[in-house]
A and B are shown apart, each in its own frame.
Chain A
Amino acid sequence: MKRGLLFILLFSVAASAQTNQPPAALANTQLRDPALEVKAKALMETLRCVVCQGQSIADSDADMAGDMRALVRGRIAAGESPDSVRAWLVDRYGDYVSYDPPLNAATWPLWIAPFVLLAIGGWIARASFVRRR
């Protein structure tokens, strides 16, 4: 009985953490123009949800991700370019909100790491081939 009560309590709390409002009109509805929807979808897949940090806003079911999708679709439908929508969000949340990190002083190791690792691999492979001969 006690355990059952605890169970109910736990789940009632989890349920009330979401809002009772219906989602925004453009949160889960595609744009009428397929070309614009393609642009908006591509952008949504490279924007991070700020409450559910491991997911893009296209993947997340959080209320705030829905509102971010509505914002992206609304601005794309109004004729804004995907780059300018991304820049608007980066101005507010920093580079963190974008899954497409820019090349700068903090991120250059990230960009050159694959080439460095490839070079090391090539060097090891060459050394082992030379030894075999």
Chain B
Amino acid sequence: MKRVMLWLPLGVFALLFAVVAAGLIRPADRTVRSALVGKPLPDFSLPALVAGKPGLQAATFRRGEPRLLIIFASWCLPCIAEAPQLMRLKAMGVPIEGIAVRDTAAAMQSFLARNGDPYASIGSDRQSSVQLALGSSGVPESFVIDGQGRIVLQHVGDIRADEVDAIAKAVRNAR
């Protein structure tokens, strides 16, 4: 008994050390994911932001064809990095709809002119209300929505070049 008590503090220290070391070597994933994946898209209707580009309604996603929904903004730097990947997805035939968060028409117009415009529609979400309703925690984020309006996949952060094929495949499989 006494011997056990003698080694106990060292044992406790070793355990604590292992816990801290594990946290340092493999930090926990702090990404906040939407709890709505697998569930229907919440109902919304957003007005248009830029001239000549329609706004966005949830009903658009229930027309039988899977679509990619992008939450983005002209003031968001990773959104610029993501733009070429979206142009590639569009060229592959993926229908892309956008929700612009806290944005202005002029800023969005120059963003589209500079970085390309893969969007079939862009809804203006002035107070992030649709973004919050979707369980999205930042820009950019992408949601793959199947033809019945069900969310099948959420991608947090910008789509990188090596992730384009996986996203395109997820959209194809969402039929």
By a beta-carbon cutoff of 8 Å, the part of chain A in contact with chain B is 13, 16-21, 24, 50-51, 53, 63-64, 67-68, 70-71, 89-94, 96-97
Contacts and interface: CB of A to CB of B under 8 A. Distances in A.
Nearest to B73: A19
Among A20, A24, A68: residue with most chain B CB under 10 A: A20
At the interface, is chain A mostly helix, strand, loop or mixed? Answer: helix
Given A24-B126, A90-B35, A93-B34, 16 more contacts: A16-B75, A20-B104, A20-B107, A21-B104, A50-B138, A51-B137, A64-B131, A67-B102, A67-B127, A67-B131, A68-B132, A71-B132, A89-B132, A91-B36, A92-B133, A97-B32
A96 B127 contact: no
A21 B103 CA distance: 7
Contact of A93 (B35, B102, B126): B35
Interface string B116-141: 00000000001111011111011000
A70 B101 CA distance: 15
Contacts of B103: 19, 21
